[in-house]
Structure 1
Amino acid sequence: MKSVTIGELARALDARLWGDASLCVTGAAEPAAAGPASDGGGIIAMAMAPRYAEALQPGSMAILAEGMDPEAYGLKAAIFAPRPRLMMAGLTRAFDAGPDIAPGIHPTAIIDPSAVIGEGAAIGPFVVIGARVRIGAGARIGPHVSIGRDSALGREALIHAGARIAHGVSAGDRLILQPGASVGGDGFSFVTPEESGIEEIRRTLGAREAIRQQHWTRIHSLGGVEIGDDVEIGANATVDRGTIRATRIGAGTKIDNLVQVGHNVTVGRDCLLCGLVGIAGSSRIGDRVVLAGQVGVSDNIEIGDDVIAGGATKIFSRVPSGRVILGNPAVRMETQMEIQKAMRRLPRFAQQLSKLQETVTRLLEKG
């Protein structure tokens, strides 16, 4: 188990230390699970708000928010977090051992002779690497990963077990693919010889002139996928390849589990796409956009920079930069809140209307 002194940890996190700097830290836990520190070390408690600190045990170590008093909790040592969640990022990084991928190339891996494997790369069991693939230095590739021909991964990539990278995919440095992620599958593109029912209702806004048999013909995906530096793609998420041009994911973007990015989509830099987001083909997402869970984006639309969409928002039209949106269909968040307030009042309004109708009826009968 990895161990550092709390003093070393504080220096690594660039944070203020209180108490005994020589105590060893072997991991982190919630306050109730972190007992008193011993000579052999101990677990540091994450108690970055007073409500969490109530469960701290005397003699333990903790990470506290500025302004909290470690002596009042009977602690041996404490680190103060000016920004707690950022501290969490640094702390978890310090203790994350990552997956068990042994150095070197496992004997069961199948690697095409034309592939180029960078210095220090680790390739696990039953990995399949195709022709002319380039793997950057220090990459770690877990078991049962496949990488198609002419794909390229940058330095220090981490590809977890069972991920799939198709042919013609290029990625920058420090790519992370979680288990089961799929990058570069064919886009969902089909056409009919005659005008399809979908094209008809788009043209007529719902009216059907005639319902005919139709047969779907595949449009093949000749483009690839281009991914910038420091991108992470979650478990069982999918990024489709482009039809002619590449699907693009900008540097620093993080994609959660079970996200679908359609063909020809462009996603900007430092975006956050949360679980179950779906982005239909050829849409353009700006920089620093946040799409919360279950957000849906229609095809061929543009979302500007710095847009934030609340959970389950459905986006059917262009969104200007900087806007915060919510609802189905998407509107400004403040507008949606007013709509929800009005909807909650509807039962009362219906009762009032019913009473008013009764009153008017009685007055008419008397008249």
Structure 2
Amino acid sequence: MPTIRAIADALGAVAEGDLDLQVTRAAEPAMAGPDDLALAMDLKYADGFATGHARAALLWPGADWQALGLQAAIFAPRGRLAMAGLTRMLDAGPQIAPGVHAMALVDPSAVIGEGAAIGPFVSIGAGVRIGARARIASHVSVAEGAVIGDDALILQGARIGARVVLGDRIIVQPGAVIGADGFSFVTPEKSGVEQIRETLGQRDHIAAQSWTRIHSLGSVTIGDDVEIGANACIDRGTIRDTVIGHGTKLDNLVHVGHNVQVGRDCLLCGQVGIAGSARIGDRVVLGGQVGVSDNIFVGDDVIAGGATKIMTNAPAGRVLLGYPAVRMETHVEMQKALRRLPRLAATVAALQKAVSKTGESD
């Protein structure tokens, strides 16, 4: 059990009171027991101490910890950053026994790094290379030629396709699929979709068409310190690899299409969809359910609010919102105008009525 002193040192934070007090877990103030570290990085959470039994807490700067009935306190100038360090300390992680489990199936040509842990019902194909201290939980499949970096964590049921390259310290959550075929099909004649792209809606002739598969010969390359959420899907490239840059984080249910290039330190929130061959710059943040059209470029440091649909190139640093995406401030003005429409319609109707009566009197 860590002491208050050890936690404060790890966080680079100031602590006061009984620094040798030990805690077992983190808890909300109202739910905290005497061996818990209560988390109240904002004054609005202070009321919870009246019903909880915490002796120590992680508090906002300047908090009167003694008035809260505590024996020790750690002060966090930046609460969520302190949360990152604290949760890292207290997270025991998945229980995967060291070595290769007897019920794992590992091809003789695969190379398993020193200190790696391979769980039960894992399948590792020919020519696979697993890095040092990598941990692979149960029911994961790693197809032929894949490379997984040092200190990787691949969780239950993830699927790693052929020739996929995963960087060091990657985390892949349960059910993610990396390296499935891209969604690429073509018709013998010009398809209805191609016609609509050219005419923007006009269809002169409609004919029966069948779809011919374009096979995916590329794979997926993912950098270091990347996290892939549960049930996310990253498609392999058609010829070149689909690429995810260092430090990028993907939430659950994110879909990255074939040939997409995503830069470094991006944040792609739940249900984001990026269509084939789009390019995403560095440090881009896409809120939940954002969609990005195929073959466009989203510049560095773009931020797109939830459900935004980006259909054209977005310049670096732009803040976007809406469908189709516009500057956030423009979208806000548009929404204000929409709310005024009923009142405006009533005003127009009254004016029409007044004009009509004036015409009758003449």
Give the TM-score, by structure 1 length.
0.97
Determine the C-alpha separation between the residues in 1 that align with 2:7 and 2:337.
52
Aligned residue type for 2:67? A
SS in 2 for 1:226: strand
Q: Is the 8 A contact 1:110 1:127 kept in 2?
A: yes
Q: Give yes or no for the alignment of 1:139 onto 2:137.
A: no
Determine the C-alpha separation between the residues in 2 that align with 1:115 and 1:284.
33
> Number of paired residues?
360
Q: Deviations over 1:212-262 (max 9, x none)?
A: 010100000000100000000000000000000000000000000000000
Q: Is the 8 A contact 1:58 1:74 kept in 2?
A: no
Please, which of 5, 11, 28 is the counterpart of residue 13 of structure 1?
11
Determine the C-alpha separation between the residues in 2 that align with 1:169 and 1:361.
72
Please, which of 56, 76, 85 is the counterpart of residue 90 of structure 1?
85
Other-structure match for 1:274? 269
Q: Is the 8 A contact 1:58 1:75 kept in 2?
A: no
SS in 2 for 1:325: strand
Q: Deviations over 1:128-149 (max 9, x none)?
A: 0000000000000000000011
Determine the C-alpha separation between the residues in 2 that align with 1:176 and 1:167.
18
SS in 1 for 2:331: helix
Q: Is the 8 A contact 1:145 1:160 kept in 2?
A: yes
Overall identity of the aligned pairs, in %: 65
SS in 1 for 2:38: strand
Other-structure match for 1:248? 243
Q: How much has 1:164 moved relative to structure 2? A: 0.3
Q: Deviations over 1:262-318 (max 9, x none)?
A: 000000000000000000000000000000000000000000000000000000000
Aligned residue type for 2:120? P
SS in 1 for 2:23: strand
Q: How much has 1:80 moved relative to structure 2? A: 0.3
Q: Is the 8 A contact 2:127 2:145 kept in 1?
A: yes
Q: Deviations over 1:44-89 (max 9, x none)?
A: 0010111101111466211011121111211110000011000000
Other-structure match for 1:225? 220
Please, which of 141, 153, 162 is the counterpart of residue 157 of structure 2?
162
Q: Deviations over 1:331-351 (max 9, x none)?
A: 000000000000000011011
Q: Give yes or no for the alignment of 1:210 onto 2:208.
A: no
Q: Give yes or no for the alignment of 1:334 onto 2:323.
A: no
Runs (4+) of structure 1 exceeding 2 A deviation are none
Q: In the superposition, relative to structure 1, how do residues 272 and 229 fare at CA in structure 2: closer, same or farther (>3 Å)?
A: same
Other-structure match for 1:28? 26
Q: Give yes or no for the alignment of 1:260 onto 2:255.
A: yes
Q: In the superposition, relative to structure 1, how do residues 59 and 311 fare at CA in structure 2: closer, same or farther (>3 Å)?
A: closer
SS in 1 for 2:36: strand
Aligned residue type for 1:53? A
Determine the C-alpha separation between the residues in 2 that align with 1:8 and 1:98.
20
Determine the C-alpha separation between the residues in 1 that align with 2:308 and 2:160.
30
Q: Is the 8 A contact 2:263 2:282 kept in 1?
A: yes
Q: Deviations over 1:141-185 (max 9, x none)?
A: 000000011110110000000000000100110010000000000
Please, which of 94, 97, 102 is the counterpart of residue 99 of structure 1?
94
